[in-house]
Structure 1
Amino acid sequence: MKIAVTGSEGFIGRLLTKRLDALGHETIRVDLLHGDDILDLGKLTLLPEFDLAIHLASRLMVPESYSIPHAYYTTNVLGTLNILELCRLRGAKMIFFSSYLYGTPEYQPIDELHPLSPFNPYAQSKILGEELCNAYNRDFGVPVTIFRPFNIYGPGQHPHFLIPNIISQCLTGQVMLKDPRPRRDFIYVDDVVDACIAALSYSGPGVDIFNLGYGKSSSIPDIIHSLQIILDKEIDVHFSHETRENEVLDTICDIRKASALLGWNPKTNLEEGLRKIIASAKNQ
C-alpha cells in the first residue's frame, strides 16, 4: 500500500514509518523537516499518489494553545482540511489522530460515545478537525478512521510532557512536580503504532472512532514508585501542590471497541514502558 504520513519525523511518525517500511509499504514522508507544509495545499498536490494518509502533524501543547490560539486553529484545522482535500482528490482513505476531547468524565471507563467537552483551544481544534472528517465523508465519501489516544508516552517524546519530564529529573537530581492528584491512562507509543497497523485493513463505516489507552489509570506517585523499582533508588520528590484550572482528576479509556473491531490490545504496562524509556536514554 502507498501511505502518506504527515508528521513523519515526529514522536509517533518516526516509529510508524519504520514499521510501515518493514512491512513492505511504500511510505511517503510529509514533514516540515523535509520542506513540506500541510498549510500549503498547492504544494501538497505535488506529492506522489497514495492510497491512505495517516495525519499525525499538529500542534500538541495544551498550555501553549492558550498563548498562540490562532496558530493552533490554523495548523490543526486548516492543516486537517488540506489533507482531507488531498484524500478527496486522490480517492484515498485517511487516519486522523485526535485527543483531549472528553473533559471531566461523566462515567468511567470512557467510551467513544462519551459526550465531548473541550476546555482548551487545542481540544477545540481537534473537535473541529473531526467535524471536517465527518463532512468530507458525508459530502465526498472520504473514509476516515479517527483515533483518540489517551496519554501517549515512550522514548523520544518531547521533554515538556509529564513522563519524560519526571524521568529526566529522576536521572539528574531532585524531582520538583506540581499536583500529585491527577490520574491518567498512559499508553505506550508502540501500542499506538500497533493500532495504526491494525487499522490498515479495517473497512468499517465511513467514519469510525476508536479510543486508545491501556484501560487503567496511574498517578504521579505510581510513576515514581515504578521508577524507584527500576532505578533501585529512593527518589526525592517535592510537590508544589499547584493546580491547573479545569484539571481532570482521573481518566480511564474503554478499549473494547478497538479490541473487538481491530483485534488490537495494548501490550506494554506502565512499568515495562518506563523501563524501555530509561534503557533508551542510557543508550543515547
Structure 2
Amino acid sequence: MRVLVTGADGFVGKHLGRHLRAGGDEVLEVRGPDPGAPPAAGGAGAQGLEALDVLDAAAVARVVRAGAPEGIIHLAGWSSVAQSHVDPGKAFAVNALGTVHLLEAVRKHAPNARVLLVSSGEVYGNAAGEGPASERTEVAPVSPYAVSKLAAELAGSQYFRSYGVEVLCARPFNHLGAGQAAHFVVPSFARQLQAIRRGEAHARLEVGNLEPVRDFSHVTDVVEAYRLLLRSGIAGEVYNIASGAGRTIRSIVDELGALLGLAVEPTVVPERFRPAEIQSLVGDPSKLRALGWAPRHTVTEALRDVLLEVAAVA
C-alpha cells in the first residue's frame, strides 16, 4: 500500500515509518513545520522529509494530490495535554482544523484513500470511572487537547457519512518507548533518575501527581495496530488501542528506579499538576483484538528502551 504519514518526524511517526516499510508498504512521509528555519531546497527538511503545516490548506492539498496515497495515517498534531492548557486555541486549530484540511484534500484529490485519524483515549475523561473504557463509553474530555481530538473525530465521521471518505479513528492510550520528547512524563523521570545515578549536584526527582492510573503500551505494539487498522478496520468506526491493564504513575517511577538500582524519594512539585486530572484511564481493546491484534511487548521493555536512550545521550 502507498501510505502517507503526517507527523512522520515525531515520536510515533518514526516508529511507524519503520514498521510500514518493514511490511512492504511504500511510505510517503511529511514532517511538522519548523518555525524560523529557512526553507530547504525542494521543500525537504534536515531529516529529508518535506515540511507540512496542516494549518495551510493549500499545502495539505498539494501534498495529497502529488502523493496520490492509497492510505493515510494522520499523526500530525498538538500532542501535549499540559501545553494545551497553556494555548488551547492553538491546540484546537492544529488538531481539529488541521484534520479538516486533510479530509478536504482527500475528498478532492484522493477520494479512494483510506484515512486513519489518530485520536486519543483522553477523550473519555473520567467517564469510565475505574473500569476500562470501551468505544461505547461516554466521551467526557477534560483538557483542550482532548476536546480538539474529539472534534477531529467528529469531522472524520462527518466526512465519512456525507462524502463517503473511508475514515476510521484510533484512540490510543498512553504509549512508551525510545524517541519520546523530554517534556513527556516518563522521559522526564528517566532523565532525572539518570542524573541522580550519575551523582550530579542538586539532582532530584521532581514529580506531579503520582496517583492517577493509566493504561500503558509499548509504542511498537501501537504502530502495529495502526497498520492493521488502516488495512482491516471498518470505515466510520472507532477503535481503542490499549492493554486493558491499569497502573499508577507512581508504579512507573518505582520500576524505573528499580531498573537503575535506585531507591529515590520523589519531590512533589505542585506546578507539575494538571489543571484538570483524570483519575483513572484504562482502555478496553476487545474490538481491536477481534481484528487479530495482540500486544507483543511489555511496559518494562519500553522503560528499558527509554533508559538506554537517556544514558546514550547523557
Contact kept in structure 2, 1:228 and 1:235, CA below 8 Å: yes
Contact kept in structure 1, 2:85 and 2:144, CA below 8 Å: yes
In structure 1, C-alpha distance between the alignment counterparts of 2:157 and 2:14, rounded to whole Å: 28
Structure-2 change in CA distance of 1:249 and 1:24 (3 Å): same
Shift of 1:203: 4.8
Which whole-Å deviations, capped at 9, do the CAs of 1:37-85 have from their partners, x for residues lacking one? 2222222232221111110000122222232222112111111011111
In the alignment, which residue of structure 2 is the partner of 1:177? 207
In the alignment, which residue of structure 2 is the partner of 1:16? 16
In structure 2, C-alpha distance between the alignment counterparts of 1:60 and 1:115, rounded to whole Å: 22
Shift of 1:192: 0.7
In the alignment, which residue of structure 2 is the partner of 1:67? 86
Question: Which of the residues 139, 148, 156 maps onto 1:116?
Answer: 139
In structure 1, C-alpha distance between the alignment counterparts of 2:233 and 2:78, rounded to whole Å: 29
In structure 2, C-alpha distance between the alignment counterparts of 1:19 and 1:106, rounded to whole Å: 32
In structure 1, C-alpha distance between the alignment counterparts of 2:257 and 2:57, rounded to whole Å: 49
Question: Which of the residues 123, 136, 140 maps onto 2:159?
Answer: 136
Paired residues for 1:271-282 under 5 Å: 271-282=300-311
SS at match of 1:211: strand
In the alignment, which residue of structure 1 is the partner of 2:248? 219
**Higher mean displacement: 97-106 or 52-61:** 97-106
Paired residues for 1:41-60 under 5 Å: 41-47=57-63, 48-60=67-79
Structure-2 change in CA distance of 1:162 and 1:203 (3 Å): closer
Contact kept in structure 2, 1:183 and 1:219, CA below 8 Å: yes
SS at match of 1:132: helix
Amino acid at match of 2:95: N
Paired residues for 1:226-245 under 5 Å: 226-240=255-269, 243-245=273-275
Question: Which of the residues 173, 192, 217 maps onto 1:187?
Answer: 217
Contact kept in structure 2, 1:39 and 1:75, CA below 8 Å: yes
Unaligned 5+ residue runs, structure 2? 34-44, 197-203
TM-score (norm 2): 0.85
Question: Which of the residues 96, 105, 108 maps onto 2:117?
Answer: 96
SS at match of 1:130: helix
Amino acid at match of 1:129: A
| Mapped pair 1:258 → 2:280 | no
Question: Which of the residues 144, 153, 156 maps onto 2:179?
Answer: 156
Contact kept in structure 1, 2:190 and 2:310, CA below 8 Å: no
Question: Which of the residues 69, 86, 95 maps onto 1:76?
Answer: 95
Shift of 1:241: 6.2
Which whole-Å deviations, capped at 9, do the CAs of 1:190-236 have from their partners, x for residues lacking one? 111110121232152x3111111121111132112212331123223
SS at match of 1:45: helix
Amino acid at match of 1:130: E
The alignment yields a C-alpha RMSD, in angstroms, of 1.7
Count of matched residue pairs:
282
Contact kept in structure 2, 1:214 and 1:269, CA below 8 Å: no
In the alignment, which residue of structure 1 is the partner of 2:42? none
Amino acid at match of 1:143: E
| Mapped pair 1:145 → 2:191 | no
Shift of 1:35: 2.6
Which whole-Å deviations, capped at 9, do the CAs of 1:105-127 have from their partners, x for residues lacking one? 33411101110111221111111
Unaligned 5+ residue runs, structure 1? none
Contact kept in structure 2, 1:101 and 1:127, CA below 8 Å: yes
In the alignment, which residue of structure 2 is the partner of 1:7? 7
Q: Matched residues, percent identical?
A: 32
SS at match of 1:4: strand
Shift of 1:158: 1.2
